C-alpha cells in the first residue's frame, strides 16, 4: 500500500516538474508546480512528518503559489515564452547538471552510510519542543525575517508617488 | 515501509530537474519556480534523512526552509514586478543590466 | 620694589593683551595713557632694580625669580625664570627709557591714524617681548623674547598692511630673521645637549667646567651668532632692515634702531663666557662687525631716502658693537649700544618729525632749508648727528672710541683701521643728511608753506633724547682720565667678559685724537661736497659711474639673494612638484589604477550581464565544491 | 568625580556616544536643519564633556592603560578591549574637542543633506576615538577601517568638483595599506597561537611575543606601510593634497587634525613596540624619509596656488617632524612627537577652518583671487595670525613647545637630521607668512565686495576655544606632558630593550629614565 502511494506521488511530482519544463505557458507552469508541491506534501506525510506535510500544502501549494499566480496575472503576458535554443551554454549546463546529479547521488549514499533505521523521528510534540528550546533564537529571528521581507516587498513593489 | 534511500533518490532527481528547469527556461518567473523546486527537493532530503536517522532536527529545519522560502518568494516576486514595470519584459536573455 | 622686577615685562604684556582685545572700543586718550603708563611702570621698576644693584655692590648676586615651570621633558627643562643683573639692568633701562619717550612721541605722531589702538597694542607687546628677552635667565626663555620681538617687528613693519611694500617688507624681515633663528636653534641644541641646563650661568660656566670643548664652543657660538646676524642686521642677513623702514618712524626708532636690533649684541655679551672660550668665534664676531660697519656705511653714502640712510647707519653702528664684543670688550660694545640707543632714536624721531612736517616726504632731494622752519627738530637732529659722527665730547665719541681703543689694544690693527674708516664714512653720510635736509634752498616738498614744527608731545621727547645723546658719554669716560672715570665699564665688570689691555697713556691719547680727527674729517668732506661746491656730488658720481651704481644699488645683494637663493628654490620646487608629485608618484598611482581598470575590462568580457551565465558559474562552483567534499 | 568616573564605562561611552547620536539623528526629520544641527552638536559636545572626565581622571603614574574595559566579543582573542594611556589620551581628547568645532563650522557651508552629513561626522568621531582607545589589535583594525567609510562619503558627497578622483585616490592609497595590515593581523594571531597555545590579539600580549627578526621585518613592512601612508610619510603623501582640496572644511579639519595622527599613533602603539628589532633596523631609513618630507613638504607648500593644498603640504612637513621624532626613539623626542601631534591637530585644524571661512565668503580657494582681506576682517586677521604663528612654532605658543622637544630629541639621535629638520623653522614661516601676505595683506582685491564681513558669533565660538588652547598649551605644556611621562618611558622600554638585548648591548642608562626619575622626584 505504502509503496503504491509512494510511486503514484513520485510519478505525479516528477511528471509535474517535467511538464513545467516542457510547457511554455506561465499560468500552466504555476499550476503544474501546485501539483508537484501537493504531491510532495503527501510524500512528507509518508516520511512521518505530518506537520511538515501540512505546512507544505498550506504554505507552499497554497499561499506561495497563489502569490505566483497573482504575479502572473499582473504581468498579463500575451506572448508565450520564447522557444529555447540549443546553445553552447545549454550544453555546458547539461553537462554540469549531469555531473552534479551524479555527485548528489554519491553524496546521498554517503549521507546514508551511517544511518541506523530506527522508529519515527518523533511526533509533532517533539518537533514543537525542539523549536521552542534549541531553535528558539532561530525561530524568533525568522519572524523578524518575515517582517523584513514584508516591508522590503512593500518598499520595492509599492506604488511610489514620485517615481 | 518504504526505505528512506528511495525518498533521497527522489529528492536528488527533483533537484536535478530543478537545475535543468532553471537553465532551460528563459523567463524570470519560471526560473524562479525552478528555484522553488530545488528548495523543495532539499526539504525532501532533510525529511528523508530525519527519517533515516530517527531525529526531529531535520523536520525543524524544513520548517525554517519553508519560512525562508516564503520570505524569499515575496521579495523575489516584488523584485520581478519592479523589473517588469521598468523593462516590460521578463526574458532573461534580454536583461543585461548586470553587465559592468 | 626691586623684588617685583619680574613684573617689568609683564606689565606691558598685560597692557598689550587688554589693548589687543578691547583697544578698538576704547577712547584714544585712554589707549595713550594706558600704554604709556605701562611702560612708565616698567621703567620705574627697572630704575628701582638698578638702584638696588648699585647699592648692593658689584659682588651681590643678581635678582632672580622663577615663576613657573614651562617645558620639561626628560633632560630638557626650561622654566619661566627671570633674573635681573647689571647687564639686564642696563638693557631694561635703555629699553624702557627710550620706549617711554617713543610712546609719548607716538601719541603725537600717530594721532591721525585709524588703527591707533592696534599700534599701541603692538608697541606694548614689543616692550613685553623685549623685556622678557633682557630679563630671561635661561636661553630658551630668552628665545621667547627673541622671536617675540621679531614678531612685533613684523607686525609693526607691516602696520600699514594695505601698502604692498609694507606687507612685503614685514614678510622679508620675519623670514630673514627666521633663517638666523634656525641656526640659533641648532646652536641652542648643541649647547643644551652638552650643558644640560639652559640657564646663562650654566652655559657661561660650561667651557671652564669642561662640559663644552673648544670645538663645540666655536660651533655653538658661531651658530648662535648667525642668529644674531639676523636679529641685529649684520652681514649676511642684514637685508631686511632697510626695507623695514616701511613701518611708522617711531617704530623704526624703537625697534629698528634702539632696542630690538641690538638684541644680538646683548646675547653675545650675555654669553660672554661661551664666546670667550672660542677665539675663533670671537674673531668671526669681530670681523663680521667690522666689515658690516664699513660696508653699510658705504651704502649709506648715496641713499636719498632719509630713513634708509639711518637704517644703513644702524647696521653700521651695530657692526661697531659686535666689533667691540668680538675683540673682548663687551663692556665697550654695550656702552655703544647704550649711547647708540639715544642718538639713533633721536635721529629717527627727528627724521620722523621732518617727515611728519612734510606730510610723509622721505626723499632728501626734495627737502632742504628746513633749518629755520623746524626750530626744535633741527638742533635736536644736529646733536644726534654730531653724537653719531663722533664729534668730541658727545656720547658717540666716547663709546666709539672705547671700541676702537679696545680693538687697537687687542692687537687687531686691521679691525681698528676698518673702524676708523667707518668713522670717517659715518661722519660724512650723517652730515650729508644734515646739509641736504636742513641747509640750502628749500626744494619741492620743503618749500611747502604749510610746513611747521611738530606738536610738543613730539618735540619734548626729542629734547630729552638730545640731552641724553649729548651727555650719555659721561657715563663711560676713557680710562685715561683715571681708573674711576669709566663708570659704565666698571658697572658691568664681572657681568660681561672683558679682556683688559693696558695701553700707554700716550698711545691712548693718540687714538683719541685719531678718532676725533676722523670725525671732523668726515664732517669737513660732507661740507665740501654738499655746501662748498654743490656740483661735486654729481661730478664724482659721473667720474666713478660703476662705483656709484654699485653703491646706489646697495651692492645688489638683494638681487643676488633673489637670484641665488629664492628663485632657484621656488623654481626648483615647482619643477619637482610637477615632475615628482604630479608625474612620478601620482603617475605610478594612475598607472596602477589604469592596470587595474584594464584587468577589469579584460574580465568584463566574461560578465555578459546574463543571469544564466552567472548561474552557470555558480553551478560550476557548486560542482567543484561538492566534488571536493566527496573526495 | 573619581567615583563617578569609575562607576561608568567611560571609554566606551566616549567612543560610542557619537554612534548612538548618529542613530538618533536618523529618526529626526531631515528637513528641520536646526534640529539636526543642534542635536549633532549636542551629542558631540556631550562626548567632549565626557572625555574631559578621562582627562581629569587619568592618573598616568603607572604608564599602563587606564579606564580599561574588557569583554569577550567574537572569541579566539578577538575581544572588546579598550582603555587609554598617555599615548592615546590626548588624541582621544583632540578628536572629541575638534568634532563639535568641525560640526559648528559646517553650519553654513553644508546646506545640502545636512542630516546625512551630521550622521557621517558622528560616525567618523566614533571611528577615530575607537582607533585610539582600542587595546586589541582586531578592534583597532575594525575601527581603522570603519573610519574610512564616513570619510569616503564626506569627501565624496560634499566635496569639491574633483571629489571623485580625490576619494578614489584616498581610498586606493589607504586601502592598499590597510589590506597589508590585515594580513599582518592574521599572521600575528597565528604567531601568538603558536607561541602560547592560547588566542589573543591584545596588543600588550602581542608585544610580549619574541618574534623572529625575519618575521618582524615582514610584519613591520606591512603595518608600517599602512601607517606611513596615513601619516603621510614622503613619498606616499600625494593623496593628501587632493583629499584636502576637495574635502569640505569640516572633513579637512578632522582629516588633518586627527586622521593623520593615526599613522603616527600606529607606529607608537603597534609598529615600534610589536616589532622592535625591525623598527630599530628601519628607523634610520624612515628617519631620512621623514626628514626629506619636512623639507619637501615645506618647499611644496611654498609654491602652491591653492590655499588648502598649501596647508595640506604644510601637514606633510609638520608630520615629517613628528615621524622623525618618533623614529629617534628617545624620551624627549617621543614626548615631543606626541605633543606636536596635538599641536599640529589644533593649528592645522584651525588653519583649515580659517581657509574655510575665507572660502565661504569668496567661494574661491585660489590664493591669487584674494588680497587685503584684513582691512575688512580685522578680528579674523588677528585669529589667523595666531593660528599661523602657532603652526610656525613661535615660542610661547603651542607649536614651539612640541617643536623644540622634537628638535632636542632628534638632535640627540642624529645631529645632521636635526639640522635638516630645523629648516622647517624657516620654511614654515616663509610659506605661511607669504600666504598671509597674499591673502590678507596688501590692497583690498575687490573693495566693493560685500561678502567680506568679519567673523560672526558662531565663527568666534569655534575659533576662540582653539586660540585659548593654543596659548595655554604653549605656556603650560607641563599640564599635558606630565601625563605622558610614565607611558612614554614604558613605551620606550618596550621598544628599546629587545633591540639592545639582541644586539648584545647593555641597556644603556637612558636620558629619558634619569629624566623620569627627576620628574618623579619633583612630584
For chains D and A, having 3+ Cβ pairs within 8 Å is answered no
Query: Which residues have a Cβ under 8 Å from the Cβ of C25 and sit 6 or more positions away?
Result: none
Question: What is the grid cell recorded at C313?
Answer: 647707519
In 10 A of CB D494, how many CB atoms? 16
Residue C376 CA to residue C450 CA, distance in Å, equals 17
Show residues of chain B in contact with A133, CB under 8 Å: none
Show residues of chain B in contact with C609, CB under 8 Å: 95-100
Which fold does the domain B4-98 belong to in CATH?
Answer: Helix Hairpins (1.10.287)
Query: Which residues have a Cβ under 8 Å from the Cβ of C484 and sit 6 or more positions away?
Result: C490
Q: Which domains does chain A have, with CATH numbers?
A: 1-77 (1.20.120.1200)
**Contact flag D168-C580 (C-beta cutoff 8 Å):** no
Show residues of chain C in contact with D409, CB under 8 Å: 74
**Contact flag C573-D302 (C-beta cutoff 8 Å):** yes
The minimal CB distance from A47 to the residues B5, B32, B51 is found for B51
Low-confidence ranges of chain C (pLDDT < 50): none
Q: How far is CA A156 from CA A146, B80, C609, D99, in A?
A: 15, 10, 22, 37
Show residues of chain C in contact with B95, CB under 8 Å: 609-611
Which contiguous run of DSSP H or E holds residue C137?
Answer: none
DSSP character at residue D134? B
Separation in Å, CA of A160 to nearest CA in chain B? 11
**Contact flag D395-C585 (C-beta cutoff 8 Å):** no
**pLDDT for C95:** 93
* Neighbour subunits, C (≥3 Cβ pairs < 8 A): A, B, D
In 10 A of CB C360, how many CB atoms? 8
Residue C156 CA to residue C137 CA, distance in Å, equals 27
Residue A41 CA to residue A56 CA, distance in Å, equals 5
Closest CA to D428 of D288, D293, D308, D314: D314
Show residues of chain D in contact with C73, CB under 8 Å: 331-332, 335-336, 405, 481, 485, 515
Q: Is residue C352 within 8 Å of residue C249, measured between CB atoms?
A: yes
Residue B50 CA to residue B65 CA, distance in Å, equals 15
Quick one: CA torsion of C392, C397, C398, C404, rounded to 10 degrees? -120
Q: How far is CA D304 from CA C104, C561, C587, D237, in A?
A: 44, 22, 19, 15
Low-confidence ranges of chain A (pLDDT < 70): 76-86, 115-122, 159-163
Q: What angle do CA C118, C120, C124 make, to 5 degrees?
A: 120
- Written as tens digits, the pLDDT of chain D (523 aa) is 455 556 678 889 999 999 999 998 888 877 788 888 999 999 999 999 999 998 988 888 888 888 888 888 877 888 899 999 889 999 999 999 999 999 999 888 887 888 889 999 999 999 999 999 999 999 999 999 888 889 888 988 888 888 888 888 888 788 878 888 888 888 888 888 888 888 888 888 888 787 888 888 999 988 998 999 888 888 888 888 888 888 899 999 999 999 999 999 999 998 888 888 888 889 899 999 999 999 999 999 988 889 999 999 999 999 999 999 999 988 999 999 999 999 999 999 999 999 999 888 888 888 888 888 888 888 999 999 999 999 999 998 999 999 999 999 999 998 999 999 999 999 999 999 999 999 988 888 777 777 778 888 899 999 999 999 999 999 999 889 998 888 998 888 888 876 555 554 444 444 444 444 444 444 4
**pLDDT for B59:** 85
Q: Is residue C370 within 8 Å of residue C440, measured between CB atoms?
A: no
C327, burial (CB in 10 Å: exposed 0-12, middle 13-18, buried 19+)? buried
Closest CA to A53 of C547, C540, B51, C382: B51
Q: Does A90 touch chain C (CB under 8 A)?
A: no
DSSP reduced 3-state for C534: coil
**pLDDT for C98:** 92
Q: Is residue D140 within 8 Å of residue D88, measured between CB atoms?
A: no
**pLDDT for D348:** 93
Residue of C600, C606, C609 to mutate when probing chain B, most B C-beta within 10 A: C609
SS percent in chain D: helix, strand, coil, step 5: 75, 5, 20
Closest CA to C249 of C151, C148, C347: C347
Residue C168 CA to residue C41 CA, distance in Å, equals 35
Residue D233 CA to residue D225 CA, distance in Å, equals 9
Show residues of chain C in contact with A110, CB under 8 Å: 630
**First-last CA distance in chain C:** 99
Question: What is the grid cell recorded at C593?
Answer: 589604477
Show residues of chain A in contact with B56, CB under 8 Å: 121-122, 126-127, 130
Query: Which residues have a Cβ under 8 Å from the Cβ of C131 and sit 6 or more positions away?
Result: C8, C9, C12, C42, C92, C95, C96, C145
Q: Phi-psi category of D454—alpha, beta or left, where left has phi over 0 and alpha has psi -120 to 50? A: beta
pTM, full prediction: 0.81
Q: Phi-psi category of C359—alpha, beta or left, where left has phi over 0 and alpha has psi -120 to 50? A: left
Alpha helices, DSSP H only, in D363-477? Answer: 378-391, 398-413, 415-439, 457-475
Separation in Å, CA of C600 to nearest CA in chain A? 23
- D contact residues 469-508, partner C, Cβ 8 Å cutoff: 475-478, 481, 485
For A41-81, how does the pLDDT look when each residue is reduced to its tens digit (9 = 90+)?
A: 999 888 888 888 888 888 888 888 888 888 888 776 655 55
DSSP reduced 3-state for D79: strand
Show residues of chain B in contact with C614, CB under 8 Å: 98
Residue A24 CA to residue C484 CA, distance in Å, equals 128
Residue of B nearest to A48 (CA): B51
Residue of C nearest to D520 (CA): C74
Is the preceding peptide bond at D406 cis, omega within 30 degrees of 0? no
Q: What angle do CA C465, C471, C476 make, to 5 degrees?
A: 125
**Contact flag B48-A135 (C-beta cutoff 8 Å):** no
3-class secondary structure per residue, A61-129: HHHHHHHHHHHHHHHCCCCCCCCCCCCHHHHHHHHHHHHHHHHHHHHHHHHHCCCCCCCCCCCHHHHHH
Show residues of chain C in contact with A99, CB under 8 Å: 623, 627
**pLDDT for D431:** 93
Each domain of chain B, given as residue ranges in start order, spans: 4-98
3-class secondary structure per residue, D339-396: HHHHHHHHHHHHHHHHHHHHHHHHCCCEHHHCCCHHHCCHHHHHHHHHHHHHHCCCEC
**Contact flag A26-B52 (C-beta cutoff 8 Å):** no
The minimal CB distance from C178 to the residues D239, D400, D426 is found for D426
**Contact flag B16-A56 (C-beta cutoff 8 Å):** no
* Neighbour subunits, D (≥3 Cβ pairs < 8 A): C
Q: In sequence order, what are the beta bridge partners of D514?
A: none
Residue of C nearest to A94 (CA): C616
**Contact flag C151-D394 (C-beta cutoff 8 Å):** yes
Show residues of chain A in contact with C619, CB under 8 Å: 93, 96-97, 100
Query: Which residues have a Cβ under 8 Å from the Cβ of A140 and sit 6 or more positions away?
Result: none
In 10 A of CB C417, how many CB atoms? 15
**First-last CA distance in chain A:** 59
Question: What is the grid cell recorded at C150?
Answer: 621679531
**First-last CA distance in chain B:** 55
**pLDDT for C311:** 92
Residues, chain A, total? 163
**Position of cell 536528488?**
B12
For C25-75, how does the pLDDT look when each residue is reduced to its tens digit (9 = 90+)?
A: 888 899 999 999 999 999 999 999 999 988 888 777 888 888 888 888 888
Closest CA to D184 of D166, D162, D151, D209: D209
Residue of C598, C615, C622 to mutate when probing chain B, most B C-beta within 10 A: C615
For chains B and D, having 3+ Cβ pairs within 8 Å is answered no
Separation in Å, CA of C181 to nearest CA in chain D? 8
The minimal CB distance from C611 to the residues B19, B95, B100 is found for B95
Q: What angle do CA D163, D166, D172 make, to 5 degrees?
A: 135
**Contact flag A14-B58 (C-beta cutoff 8 Å):** no
Show residues of chain B in contact with C610, CB under 8 Å: 92-93, 95-96, 98
The minimal CB distance from B7 to the residues A43, A101, A118 is found for A43
In 10 A of CB A136, how many CB atoms? 11
The minimal CB distance from A121 to the residues B55, B79, B82 is found for B55
Residue of B nearest to C619 (CA): B19
**Contact flag C610-B100 (C-beta cutoff 8 Å):** no
**pLDDT for A82:** 58
Closest CA to D101 of D150, D148, D160, D41: D41
For C131-167, how does the pLDDT look when each residue is reduced to its tens digit (9 = 90+)?
A: 999 999 989 999 999 999 999 999 999 898 888 899 8
Amino acid at each position: 500500500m505504502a509503496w503504491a502511494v509512494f510511486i503514484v506521488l513520485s510519478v505525479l511530482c516528477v511528471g509535474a516538474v517535467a511538464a513545467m519544463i516542457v510547457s511554455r505557458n506561465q499560468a500552466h507552469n504555476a499550476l503544474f508546480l501546485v501539483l508537484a508541491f501537493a504531491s510532495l506534501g503527501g510524500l512528507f506525510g509518508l516520511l512521518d512528518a505530518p506537520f511538515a506535510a501540512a505546512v507544505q500544502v498550506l504554505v507552499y501549494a497554497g499561499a506561495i503559489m497563489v502569490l505566483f499566480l497573482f504575479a502572473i496575472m499582473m504581468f498579463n503576458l500575451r506572448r508565450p515564452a520564447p522557444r529555447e535554443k540549443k546553445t553552447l551554454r545549454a550544453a555546458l549546463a547539461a553537462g554540469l547538471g549531469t555531473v552534479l546529479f551524479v555527485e548528489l547521488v554519491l553524496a546521498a549514499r554517503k549521507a546514508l552510510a551511517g544511518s541506523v533505521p530506527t522508529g519515527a523521528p518523533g511526533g509533532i510534540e517533539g518537533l514543537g519542543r525542539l523549536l521552542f528550546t534549541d531553535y528558539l533564537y532561530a525561530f524568533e529571528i525568522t519572524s523578524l525575517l518575515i517582517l523584513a521581507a514584508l516591508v522590503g516587498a512593500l518598499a520595492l513593489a509599492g506604488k511610489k508617488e514620485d517615481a | 515501509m518504504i526505505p528512506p534511500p528511495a525518498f533521497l533518490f527522489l529528492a536528488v532527481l527533483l533537484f536535478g530537474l530543478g537545475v535543468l528547469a532553471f537553465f532551460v527556461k528563459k523567463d524570470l518567473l519560471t526560473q524562479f519556480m525552478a528555484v522553488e523546486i530545488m528548495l523543495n527537493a532539499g526539504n525532501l532530503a532533510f525529511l528523508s534523512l530525519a527519517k533515516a536517522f530517527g531525529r526531529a532536527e531535520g523536520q525543524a529545519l524544513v520548517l525554517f526552509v519553508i519560512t525562508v522560502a516564503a520570505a524569499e518568494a515575496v521579495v523575489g516576486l516584488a523584485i520581478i514586478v519592479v523589473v517588469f514595470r521598468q523593462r516590460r519584459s521578463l526574458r532573461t536573455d534580454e536583461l543585461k543590466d548586470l553587465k559592468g | 620694589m626691586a623684588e617685583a622686577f619680574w613684573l617689568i615685562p609683564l606689565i606691558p604684556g598685560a597692557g598689550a593683551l587688554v589693548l589687543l582685545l578691547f583697544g578698538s572700543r576704547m577712547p584714544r586718550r585712554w589707549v595713550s595713557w594706558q600704554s604709556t603708563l605701562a611702560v612708565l611702570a616698567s621703567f620705574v621698576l627697572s630704575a628701582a632694580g638698578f638702584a638696588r644693584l648699585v647699592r648692593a655692590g658689584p659682588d651681590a648676586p643678581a635678582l632672580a625669580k622663577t615663576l613657573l615651570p614651562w617645558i620639561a621633558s626628560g633632560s630638557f627643562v626650561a622654566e619661566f625664570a627671570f633674573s635681573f643683573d647689571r647687564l639686564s639692568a642696563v638693557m631694561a633701562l635703555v629699553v624702557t627709557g627710550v620706549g617711554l619717550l617713543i610712546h609719548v612721541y607716538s601719541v603725537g605722531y600717530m594721532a591721525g591714524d585709524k588703527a591707533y589702538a592696534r599700534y599701541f597694542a603692538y608697541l606694548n607687546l614689543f616692550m613685553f617681548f623685549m623685556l622678557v628677552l633682557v630679563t630671561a635667565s635661561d636661553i630658551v626663555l630668552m628665545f621667547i623674547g627673541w622671536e617675540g620681538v621679531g614678531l612685533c617687528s613684523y607686525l609693526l613693519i607691516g602696520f600699514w598692511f594695505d601698502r604692498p611694500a609694507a606687507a612685503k617688507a614685514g614678510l622679508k624681515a620675519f623670514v630673514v630673521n627666521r633663517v638666523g633663528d634656525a641656526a640659533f636653534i641648532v646652536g641652542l641644541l648643541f649647547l643644551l645637549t652638552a650643558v644640560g641646563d639652559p640657564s646663562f650661568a650654566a652655559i657661561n660656566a660650561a667651557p671652564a667646567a669642561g662640559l663644552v670643548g673648544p670645538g663645540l664652543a666655536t660651533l655653538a657660538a658661531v651658530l648662535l651668532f648667525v642668529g644674531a646676524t639676523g636679529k641685529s642686521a649684520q652681514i649676511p642677513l642684514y637685508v631686511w632692515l632697510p626695507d623695514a623702514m616701511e613701518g611708522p618712524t617711531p617704530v623704526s626708532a624703537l625697534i629698528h634702531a634702539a632696542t630690538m636690533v641690538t638684541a644680538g649684541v646683548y646675547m653675545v655679551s650675555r654669553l660672554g663666557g661661551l664666546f670667550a672660550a672660542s677665539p675663533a668665534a670671537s674673531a668671526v664676531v669681530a670681523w663680521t662687525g667690522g666689515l658690516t660697519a664699513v660696508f653699510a656705511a658705504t651704502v649709506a653714502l648715496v641713499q636719498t631716502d632719509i630713513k634708509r640712510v639711518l637704517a644703513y647707519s644702524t647696521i653700521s653702528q651695530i657692526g661697531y658693537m659686535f666689533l667691540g664684543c668680538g675683540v673682548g670688550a663687551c663692556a665697550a660694545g654695550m656702552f655703544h649700544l647704550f649711547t647708540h640707543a639715544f642718538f639713533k632714536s633721536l635721529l629717527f624721531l627727528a627724521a620722523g618729525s621732518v617727515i611728519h612736517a612734510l606730510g610723509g616726504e622721505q626723499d632728501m632731494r626734495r627737502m632742504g632749508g628746513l633749518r629755520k622752519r623746524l626750530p626744535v627738530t633741527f638742533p635736536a637732529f644736529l646733536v644726534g648727528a654730531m653724537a653719531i659722527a663722533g664729534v668730541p665730547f658727545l656720547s658717540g665719541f666716547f663709546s666709539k672710541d672705547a671700541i676702537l681703543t679696545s680693538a687697537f689694544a687687542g692687537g687687531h690693527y686691521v679691525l681698528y683701521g676698518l673702524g676708523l674708516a667707518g668713522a670717517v664714512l659715518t661722519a660724512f653720510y650723517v652730515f650729508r643728511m644734515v646739509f641736504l635736509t636742513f641747509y640750502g634752498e628749500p626744494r619741492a616738498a620743503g618749500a611747502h608753506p604749510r610746513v611747521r614744527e611738530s606738536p610738543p608731545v613730539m618735540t619734548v621727547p626729542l629734547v630729552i633724547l638730545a640731552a641724553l645723546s649729548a651727555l650719555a658719554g659721561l657715563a663711560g669716560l676713557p680710562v685715561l682720565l683715571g681708573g674711576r672715570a669709566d663708570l659704565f665699564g666698571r658697572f658691568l665688570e664681572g657681568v660681561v667678559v672683558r679682556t683688559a689691555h693696558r695701553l700707554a697713556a700716550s698711545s691712548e691719547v693718540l687714538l683719541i685724537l685719531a678718532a676725533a680727527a676722523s670725525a671732523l674729517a668726515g664732517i669737513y668732506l660732507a661740507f665740501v661736497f654738499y655746501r662748498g661746491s654743490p656740483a661735486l656730488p654729481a661730478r664724482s658720481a659721473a667720474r666713478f659711474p660703476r662705483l656709484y651704481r654699485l653703491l646706489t644699488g646697495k651692492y645688489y645683494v638683494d638681487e643676488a639673494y633673489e637670484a641665488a637663493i629664492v628663485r632657484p628654490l621656488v623654481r626648483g620646487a615647482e619643477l619637482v612638484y610637477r615632475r615628482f608629485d604630479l608625474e612620478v608618484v601620482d603617475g605610478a598611482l594612475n598607472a596602477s589604477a589604469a592596470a587595474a581598470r584594464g584587468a577589469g575590462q579584460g574580465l568584463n568580457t566574461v560578465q555578459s550581464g546574463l543571469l544564466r551565465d552567472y548561474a552557470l558559474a555558480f553551478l560550476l562552483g557548486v560542482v567543484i565544491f561538492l566534488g571536493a567534499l566527496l573526495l | 568625580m573619581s567615583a563617578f568616573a569609575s562607576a561608568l564605562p567611560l571609554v566606551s561611552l566616549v567612543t560610542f556616544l557619537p554612534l548612538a547620536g548618529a542613530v538618533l539623528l536618523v529618526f529626526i526629520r531631515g528637513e528641520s536643519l536646526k534640529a539636526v544641527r543642534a542635536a549633532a552638536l549636542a551629542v558631540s559636545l556631550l562626548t567632549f564633556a565626557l572625555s574631559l572626565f578621562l582627562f581629569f581622571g587619568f592618573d598616568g603614574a603607572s604608564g599602563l592603560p587606564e579606564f580599561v574595559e574588557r569583554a569577550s566579543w567574537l572569541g579566539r582573542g578577538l575581544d572588546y578591549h579598550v582603555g587609554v594611556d598617555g599615548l592615546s589620551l590626548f588624541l582621544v581628547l583632540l578628536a572629541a574637542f575638534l568634532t563639535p568645532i568641525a560640526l559648528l563650522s559646517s553650519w553654513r557651508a553644508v546646506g545640502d543633506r545636512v542630516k546625512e552629513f551630521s550622521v557621517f561626522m558622528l560616525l567618523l568621531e566614533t571611528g577615530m576615538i575607537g582607533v585610539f582607545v582600542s587595546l586589541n589589535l582586531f578592534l583597532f583594525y575594525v575601527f581603522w577601517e570603519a573610519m574610512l567609510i564616513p570619510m569616503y562619503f564626506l569627501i565624496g558627497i560634499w566635496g569639491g568638483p574633483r571629489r571623485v578622483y580625490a576619494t578614489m585616490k584616498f581610498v586606493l592609497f589607504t586601502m592598499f595599506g590597510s589590506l597589508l595590515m590585515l594580513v599582518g593581523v592574521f599572521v600575528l594571531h597565528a604567531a601568538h597561537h603558536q607561541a602560547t597555545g592560547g588566542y589573543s590579539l591584545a596588543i600588550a600580549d602581542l608585544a610580549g611575543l619574541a618574534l623572529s627578526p625575519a618575521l618582524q621585518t615582514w610584519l613591520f613592512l606591512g603595518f608600517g606601510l599602512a601607517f606611513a601612508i596615513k601619516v603621510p610619510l614622503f613619498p606616499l603623501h600625494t593623496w593628501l593634497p587632493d583629499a584636502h582640496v576637495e574635502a569640505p572644511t569640516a572633513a579637512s579639519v578632522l582629516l588633518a587634525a586627527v586622521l593623520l595622527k593615526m599613522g603616527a599613533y600606529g607606529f607608537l602603539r603597534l609598529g615600534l613596540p610589536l616589532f622592535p628589532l625591525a623598527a630599530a633596523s628601519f628607523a634610520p631609513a624612515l628617519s631620512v624619509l621623514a626628514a626629506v618630507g619636512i623639507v619637501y613638504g615645506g618647499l611644496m607648500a611654498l609654491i602652491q596656488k591653492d590655499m588648502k593644498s598649501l596647508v595640506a603640504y604644510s601637514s606633510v612637513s609638520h608630520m615629517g617632524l613628528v615621524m622623525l621624532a618618533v623614529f629617534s626613539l628617545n624620551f624627549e623626542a617621543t614626548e615631543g612627537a606626541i605633543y606636536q601631534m596635538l599641536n599640529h591637530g589644533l593649528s592645522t585644524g584651525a588653519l583649515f577652518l580659517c581657509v574655510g571661512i575665507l572660502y565661504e565668503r569668496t567661494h574661491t580657494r585660489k590664493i591669487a583671487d584674494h588680497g587685503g582681506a584684513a582691512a575688512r576682517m580685522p578680528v579674523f586677521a588677528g585669529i589667523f595670525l595666531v593660528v599661523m604663528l602657532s603652526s610656525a612654532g613661535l615660542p610661547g605658543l603651542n607649536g614651539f613647545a612640541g617643536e623644540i622637544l622634537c628638535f632636542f630629541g632628534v638632535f640627540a639621535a642624529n645631529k645632521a637630521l636635526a639640522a635638516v629638520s630645523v629648516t622647517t623653522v624657516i620654511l614654515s614661516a616663509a610659506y605661511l607668512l607669504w600666504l598671509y601676505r597674499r591673502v590678507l595683506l596688501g590692497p583690498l582685491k575687490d573693495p566693493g565686495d560685500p561678502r567680506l564681513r568679519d567673523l560672526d558669533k558662531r565663527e568666534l565660538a569655534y575659533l576662540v576655544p582653539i586660540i585659548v588652547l593654543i596659548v595655554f598649551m604653549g605656556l603650560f605644556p607641563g599640564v599635558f606632558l606630565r601625563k605622558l611621562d610614565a607611558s612614554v618611558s614604558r613605551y620606550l622600554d618596550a621598544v628599546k630593550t629587545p633591540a639592545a638585548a639582541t644586539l648584545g648591548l647593555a641597556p644603556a642608562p637612558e636620558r629619558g629614565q634619569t629624566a623620569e626619575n627627576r620628574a618623579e622626584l619633583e612630584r
